[in-house]
Amino acid sequence: MRPRAWLIVFAALPAAFGAFRFGLSSAEAQPARGRLATGLLDPSIELTRRANATFDAEQVAAADRQRERDRLDEHVRPMLDLTQTDPALGVSGGGEAWCGPVAVSNALAWLGSQGRETLLPAGDTLRDRQLELVRRLGSGRYMGTTPNGGTGAKNVLQGLHAFMRDSGWGYRRLQYQGWRGHPARFTTGVKSVELEFIGKALADGGVAVIHAGWYTPAKYGGDFHRRHGGHWLTVVGVNVDERGNPAADTLVVHDPAPYAGAAGQRHFVKLTRLESGWLLAEDGAFPAKGFQKLEGGMQIKKAGDMAVLDGAVTLVP
């Protein structure tokens, strides 16, 4: 090669190296895919990531709720929950005192769904059949419910006995725990209701209703509470909480009272043992110790009152 040509080549080398270096710098200056020069994610990608995370969290929460419902279904019965003041009943007093027949009808309707269909009267719909069942239970032939007196423990027991007899089904056990007056043939001799008594009946395929007493602070002062009425509720489960987890000293009930909320609502009631005080009733005063106070999800009719578990009726067909 001629000397002049070599000079031209060596003169061009710095420019070539400069261009190569500039090319590298330009490539390095380009932001990574999806990332701005500042180091932040591209807004569209960040929004997509957040939306996916939200969707995943919602899916997990929905799965958790479904598991809770499944656990509840294993321990809580899908019973009817009629309101005692339903205008369609057309009973005396507008149904204000008909909690007894209604609570029992919820239980009998469940037994009817378990193969004892004829426990419910004929009708076009299940609702019509239950309405007629309530009317029959509260009639003079069975429980004799009245607008002023409602339905006492004695009448519930005698009426339920007669109804099961007339239905042709009969029963294996019809029993009572509690302190209210009742026929000796149904007694267990236990005045303070034991949760095991109710749980055993349910485990044996039976049903249960509880009788709550309304007690208001007495004028005597101190730890005295006077009974001024009662209320019947249907038991749909025991010893389980709202999430379907084990929960000792808990009753799950359907409350037929109009102030208890929408039909089908489950109330998780906590039982708390009374350790002191006196309960006053028409039969006199007796120590409150050992009786169970109903708290938690128990719906109290009158503010300031205390609900006490006066009694429970169990039926095992």
HEC-encoded secondary structure of the chain: CCHHHHHHHHHHHHHHHHHHHHHHHHHHHCCCCCECCCCCECHHHHHHHHHHHHHHHHHHHHHHHHHHHHHHHHHCCCCCCCCCCCHHHCCHHHHCCCHHHHHHHHHHHHHHHCCCHHHCCCCCCHHHHHHHHHHHHCCCCCCCCECCCECCHHHHHHHHHHHHHHHCCCCCEEEEEECCCCCHHHECCCCCCCHHHHHHHHHCCCEEEEEEEEEEECCCCCCEEEEEEEEEEEEEEEEECCCCCEEEEEEEEECCCHHHCCCCCCEEEEEEECCCCEEEECCEEEECCCCEEEEECCCCCCCCCEEEEEEEEEEEC
The predicted structure's pLDDT at residue 57: 80
Q: Cα separation of 253 and 251, whole Å?
A: 6
Instruction: Tell me if 135 is assigned to some domain.
Output: yes
Q: Cα separation of 37 and 229, whole Å?
A: 77
Per-position pLDDT tens, the chain of length 317: 444 433 333 344 344 434 434 343 444 444 444 444 455 557 888 888 888 888 778 887 777 767 776 777 888 999 999 999 999 999 999 999 999 999 999 999 999 999 999 999 999 999 999 999 999 999 999 999 999 999 999 999 999 999 999 999 999 999 999 999 999 999 999 999 999 999 999 999 999 999 999 999 998 777 999 999 999 999 999 999 999 999 999 999 999 999 999 888 999 999 999 999 999 999 889 999 999 999 999 999 999 999 999 999 999 99
| Contact yes or no for 193/210 (Cβ under 8 A) | yes
CATH number of the domain within which 131 lies: 3.90.70.10
pTM: predicted TM-score of the whole model, two decimal places: 0.81
Instruction: Tell me if 51 is assigned to some domain.
Output: no
Instruction: Tell me if 57 is assigned to some domain.
Output: no
Angle, alpha carbons 285-289-293 (nearest 5°)? 95
Closest C-alpha among 235, 295, 239 to residue 270: 295
Instruction: Tell me if 60 is assigned to some domain.
Output: no
Closest C-alpha among 180, 185, 195 to residue 165: 185
| Contact yes or no for 310/230 (Cβ under 8 A) | yes
- Please name every residue paired with 273 in a beta bridge, in sequence order, or none if there are none: 292
Which residues form the domain of 230? 78-316
Instruction: Tell me if 156 is assigned to some domain.
Output: yes
Domain count for the chain:
1
* Residues whose CB is less than 8 angstroms from the CB of residue 266 and which lie 6 or more positions away in sequence, other chains included: 76, 236, 237, 242, 252, 253, 254
Instruction: Tell me if 45 is assigned to some domain.
Output: no
Instruction: Tell me if 34 is assigned to some domain.
Output: no
Q: For residue 60, which amino acid is it?
A: V
| Contact yes or no for 273/295 (Cβ under 8 A) | no
Instruction: Tell me if 69 is assigned to some domain.
Output: no
Per the structure block, which two tokens stand in for 187?
């007694």
